[in-house]
Structure 1
Amino acid sequence: MEQFDDFTTFAKSLKNTATRSIRTCLAVFLAKMKTGLPNSILATIFNLNISQIQRIIPSVRTCLMTSLVPQHLGFGHIEHDAFVEKHTTPIAKELFTSANNEAVFILDGTYLYIQKSANYLFQRQSYSLHKNRSLVKPMMVVASDGYILSVLGPYLADYGNNDANITKHVLNNNLEAIRSWLRKEDVFIVDRGFRDAVEYLESIGLKVEMPTYLAKGKKQHTTEEANLSRLVTKVRWVVESVNGRLKQFRLFDKVMPNTFVPHIGDLVKIVCAVLNRYRRPIASMNPDTQDVAKAMLERSARCNQVQTLVEENNLMTKRTCYQPVDGKDTAELANFPRVTLDNLRDITMGVYQVKQARSYTKDHLENEGYEMMICRELPELLRVKIQSRHSKNTSHTLWVKYSSESGEILGWYCTCKVGARVVGCCAHVASVLWYLGYKRHTEEDSMAKDSLTSTFLNAATSSGTYSANDPLEE
């Protein structure tokens, strides 16, 4: 309620009338953004006519675009130094900046789906071959803590409006006076869709951080490539959460009607300004997180010793040097180090892999269990074969090196695409560490069997009493 009272201070240009108040107008507008309900339902909820709803929404939109948005969105609403001081996380500073006045931005385009237009030129230009749908693309410029610096566009969706071309267009046309706001050595964190703009951005004095591409003909990133990509994703995930916050306003999560298409840009900017003013930062500004960044940088310079050990001893192809152990009855691995969830998060350097670990373990325990082997030549080297969660025909092999004497996990290596990294580990390694080091030592009962798959029939595995040789009765 306090936030809504504050929100009304931005509606001074609206007027109270005999049929609706300023607060009602703002409530109608927010309800439309948050729920995406048709005007007829909103009219019933607020005891108004449909025609009144149709007049209220554009009136509030025009009002907020002149009062709220300029104060809370756009390159002109905050100074460069203030942005760096207030909205750059310690992790981003430690990983990607070398001076205190360098700003870190995360760029990403998001999709807003729209109805097909009767304007055939616009219909062609707004049709995305990637999504096979009509859409427009706002370009989000986000700080490392989740603060939305600006929303540029929205842009069309055809082949000429990829992320790289949009970035070049923004800078070439100096939208929102961006070139005078930016400074040399500012850092742009992007995904691989911006690859064609990297050279351009670097040529004007900006630094670009992007996950590496898998080389043609290769099945796995090198340790260095995987480590550097992990540094980028440690910061870049914030923009995906910002897009998720935006889509919580269900008007943008649905197919937007043609009547709203000309005003999509204004509506997105208003919602982003609301998020900036009233929502908490997504990423932590805790100075202690700088220690995590320092540890990541230190690890990123290491090589994967377990990978080297496996390759030099030809342990990928050897079979006779391994002794199988029961993947379900892990008494034979009683000397495997115990880990806490905090230990596991220190190993993974994030929470995503820990979340995936439970599902991977559940999948294997409900089926044939983990296929585990101990190396006879190196008794504290564990080899595990794990099923991919994406493909039935794909599996990965991983190795975990540990010390029973010190109770430490010394290293790991997996044959998956990013399995060679030492800045954290992949979800496959995390699942084995979670199960052997944590889950089997807890008092929690074995995980309940998921009944979801038993709800559906499976024609690929079912067998019946009858066959084609059994004709129907006459």
Structure 2
Amino acid sequence: MPFFIDGNTRCCKHHLSEQLFDDTSLQALTAKYTTTYMNRSDITSLLENVRKTLATSHILNFDNPLSLSDGDYYNLTGLSKQQFNELSSYIVSARQTNVRSVRTCIAVLLTKLRTGLPNHILGTIFSLAKSQVQRCIHSARVSLMQDFVPHFIGFQHISHEDFVRNHTTPIAKTLFANDSEDAAIIVMDGTYIYLQKSADYEFQRLSYSLHKNRPLVKPMVIVGTDGYILSVLGPYFANGKNNDAAITKHMISVNAEGMNEWLETSDVCVVDRGFRDVVDFLREQGYNVEMPVYLKKGSKQHPVEEANASRLVTKVRWVVESVNARVKQWRFFDKVVSNHFIPIIGDLLRIVCAVCNKFRPPLAGTHPEDKSIAEAMLEKCKKGNAIQKMVTEEGLLTKRTIYKLVDASNVLDELADFPVLSMDKLREITMGVYQLKQAPNYVREHEGEDGKFELYVCKIKENLLKIKIQSRHSNKLSHTVFISYSDEGDIEGWYCTCKSGARVVGCCAHVASVLWYLGYQRLEQQSGSRRDFKTSVLDASHIPSSDESDCDSLPEE
């Protein structure tokens, strides 16, 4: 029901939000009179206010909390309405003007980062000139870097003790810190922000990555094992002198953000193979380093000990890749960044990372069974692969006559004794979810019209299966999977010929796809629907034969 409130009416400030009535106060309003007298000035003022309201109704108005829904806030800024209000409350240094408010400046910057739209389009959306959009971005960036970012990112924003207590997962603590309550476990990785080709030839050479074959800069992201972003350093150049190892050595040598005082002896650095040249340097500083093992030159597969040790690292290190993916959801960083943003790329990245720390949930949660999972991984890490040993010693990989091909249409009957596996049991076997996410994709390819599941039963070894799995990376490469099971319904062991297929701390995606198909999916009788994109794209290697062409119908000359 509409109300008319006289302009001289007074109101307690506790009922207002951004100079407007809050929802609770609006619900409590009641009319004292059913009629009122208005003079000519009152009517003129009322009509003028209505005109102004209608004229601005099509404009995105972040100053009026009722003009945009919670979904609108999230789609534009990446934050809910409540989160946006909380973020705005941190800003005390920005100057309010008649043209644009502080909330509008923050909204313009976050929309820029969230969508990656160019400034002239943002100007159309917010009904601002391009120059005004640029000033909004500058004002919001400076204010956020001063009032908000220092509270939520950087080595000095959190103590070593709080970081260990709140941002170290039980799995990481058990695997790499012997359940110590004092050791911080950090995961480091460099990410990429692609740039335009520069007319400054020296900068072009320094920013050109031979690895990616394009110009870019590299920020170094340092996170906790739950995905909390401790710090983002850089960005650095991308030439050969700025690899991950060189960047790490530079950070410690210059004591970036006072990190040397923050880090303590026996802290653990979890890294990937790109840091191999700085491992000894880090250990000289007193830090423990955990890195996946390199595949030796000339080898096609990791030994079981190396594969097991690498799996312990990847069980923890995956979180930094997910952090990089979360940051790239802000499409400004997922696109090619215009060169005039180069001086402020570091600030913009820190703003997004601080927002993620404040308003996003942890990527790795804590569960009651985490410690037991880590202890089981450490126990299995000491064991060898009995199936690999049997296959190697008895030559089961090369012998063909000892196997019987199973009819794909009759798998249920021919393998009726194969164990039934629940999703919980599959997760217990894989010790992770990544392999299970890949399983349906492998199975779809082998179930399709052009693919087939080459599944064999060994004639001389009871309950031993051999399966051919096509590599998802190369048409020329396929992997052979061996799975052994017992009559009691247990999976006794597995072996795959892929690089990490010998490990027993979890299994590779090829083994997981077979276990998922035989032990779970085929019994569920559910086939996931998917779109076949191959029919939408032409293949130049498929040329119709002469009998299928219309050449014979051409007239003779």
User: Structure 1-normalised TM-score?
Assistant: 0.96
- C-alpha distance in 2 between matches for 1:64 and 1:110: 23
Higher alpha-carbon deviation: 48-57 or 137-146: 48-57
Instruction: Tell me the residue number matched to 2:201.
Output: 120
Q: Deviations over 1:109-146 (max 9, x none)?
A: 01111122232211211111111111111000010000
Q: Kindly indicate whether residue 156 of structure 2 is the aligned counterpart of residue 76 of structure 1.
A: yes
Instruction: Tell me the residue number matched to 2:467.
Output: 384
Instruction: Tell me the residue number matched to 1:460.
Output: 541
8 Å contact from structure 1 (residues 90, 287) kept in 2: no
Distance change (3 Å), C-alpha of 1:365 and 1:114? same
Instruction: Tell me the residue number matched to 1:349.
Output: 431
Instruction: Tell me the residue number matched to 1:251.
Output: 332
The aligned runs of 1:85-96 (5 Å cut-off) are 85-96=165-176
Instruction: Tell me the residue number matched to 1:16.
Output: 96
Unaligned runs of at least 5 residues, structure 1: none
Equivalent position amino acid for 2:364 in 1? A
8 Å contact from structure 2 (residues 387, 495) kept in 1: yes
- C-alpha distance in 2 between matches for 1:34 and 1:41: 14
Instruction: Tell me the residue number matched to 1:191.
Output: 272
For CA contacts below 8 A with separation 6 or more, give which structure has more relative contact order.
Answer: 1
Does the residue aligned with 1:344 lie in a helix, a strand or coil? helix
Q: Kindly indicate whether residue 398 of structure 2 is the aligned counterpart of residue 317 of structure 1.
A: yes
Greater C-alpha radius of gyration: 2
- C-alpha distance in 2 between matches for 1:85 and 1:210: 23
Instruction: Tell me the residue number matched to 2:371.
Output: 290
- C-alpha distance in 1 between matches for 2:432 and 2:516: 14
Instruction: Tell me the residue number matched to 1:230.
Output: 311
- C-alpha distance in 1 between matches for 2:227 and 2:528: 36
The aligned runs of 1:205-216 (5 Å cut-off) are 205-216=286-297
Equivalent position amino acid for 1:383 in 2? K
Cα deviation, residue 322, structure 1: 2.1
The aligned runs of 1:9-408 (5 Å cut-off) are 9-98=89-178, 99-330=180-411, 331-366=413-448, 367-404=450-487, 406-408=488-490
Q: Kindly indicate whether residue 515 of structure 2 is the aligned counterpart of residue 424 of structure 1.
A: no
Does the residue aligned with 1:413 lie in a helix, a strand or coil? strand
Unaligned runs of at least 5 residues, structure 2: 1-80
Does the residue aligned with 2:296 lie in a helix, a strand or coil? coil
Q: Kindly indicate whether residue 520 of structure 2 is the aligned counterpart of residue 438 of structure 1.
A: yes
Q: Deviations over 1:47-83 (max 9, x none)?
A: 2222211111111111111111211111111111110
8 Å contact from structure 1 (residues 81, 101) kept in 2: yes
Cα deviation, residue 89, structure 1: 0.6
Equivalent position amino acid for 2:366 in 1? M
Distance change (3 Å), C-alpha of 1:46 and 1:459? closer
- C-alpha distance in 2 between matches for 1:260 and 1:136: 12
Cα deviation, residue 466, structure 1: 5.8
8 Å contact from structure 2 (residues 191, 324) kept in 1: yes
8 Å contact from structure 2 (residues 160, 184) kept in 1: yes
Distance change (3 Å), C-alpha of 1:203 and 1:280? same
Instruction: Tell me the residue number matched to 2:70.
Output: none
Would you say how many aligned residue pairs link Structure 1 and Structure 2? 472
Equivalent position amino acid for 2:107 in 1? A
- C-alpha distance in 2 between matches for 1:243 and 1:467: 51
Distance change (3 Å), C-alpha of 1:315 and 1:147? same
8 Å contact from structure 2 (residues 102, 140) kept in 1: no
Once the two structures are aligned, what percentage of the paired residues are identical? 55
Distance change (3 Å), C-alpha of 1:348 and 1:173? same
Q: Deviations over 1:215-261 (max 9, x none)?
A: 11110001111111111111111111111111111111111112211
- C-alpha distance in 2 between matches for 1:187 and 1:471: 75
Equivalent position amino acid for 1:116 in 2? K
Equivalent position amino acid for 1:344 in 2? L
Instruction: Tell me the residue number matched to 2:56.
Output: none
- C-alpha distance in 1 between matches for 2:145 and 2:132: 20
Distance change (3 Å), C-alpha of 1:428 and 1:170? same
Distance change (3 Å), C-alpha of 1:466 and 1:288? closer
Cα deviation, residue 462, structure 1: 4.0
Distance change (3 Å), C-alpha of 1:329 and 1:177? same
8 Å contact from structure 1 (residues 184, 205) kept in 2: yes
Higher alpha-carbon deviation: 430-439 or 414-423: 430-439
Does the residue aligned with 2:215 lie in a helix, a strand or coil? strand
Cα RMSD, aligned residues only? 1.7
8 Å contact from structure 1 (residues 328, 365) kept in 2: no
Q: Deviations over 1:178-208 (max 9, x none)?
A: 1111111111010111000001111111111
User: Structure 2-normalised TM-score?
Assistant: 0.82
- C-alpha distance in 2 between matches for 1:141 and 1:24: 31
- C-alpha distance in 2 between matches for 1:306 and 1:457: 43
Does the residue aligned with 2:141 lie in a helix, a strand or coil? helix
Cα deviation, residue 293, structure 1: 1.1
Cα deviation, residue 347, structure 1: 0.8
- C-alpha distance in 2 between matches for 1:466 and 1:75: 69
Higher alpha-carbon deviation: 174-183 or 283-292: 283-292
- C-alpha distance in 1 between matches for 2:483 and 2:524: 21
Higher alpha-carbon deviation: 73-82 or 120-129: 120-129
Distance change (3 Å), C-alpha of 1:288 and 1:57? same
Equivalent position amino acid for 2:497 in 1? T
Distance change (3 Å), C-alpha of 1:297 and 1:135? same
Distance change (3 Å), C-alpha of 1:256 and 1:450? closer
Does the residue aligned with 2:96 lie in a helix, a strand or coil? coil
- C-alpha distance in 2 between matches for 1:219 and 1:212: 13
- C-alpha distance in 1 between matches for 2:371 and 2:504: 18
- C-alpha distance in 1 between matches for 2:297 and 2:138: 51
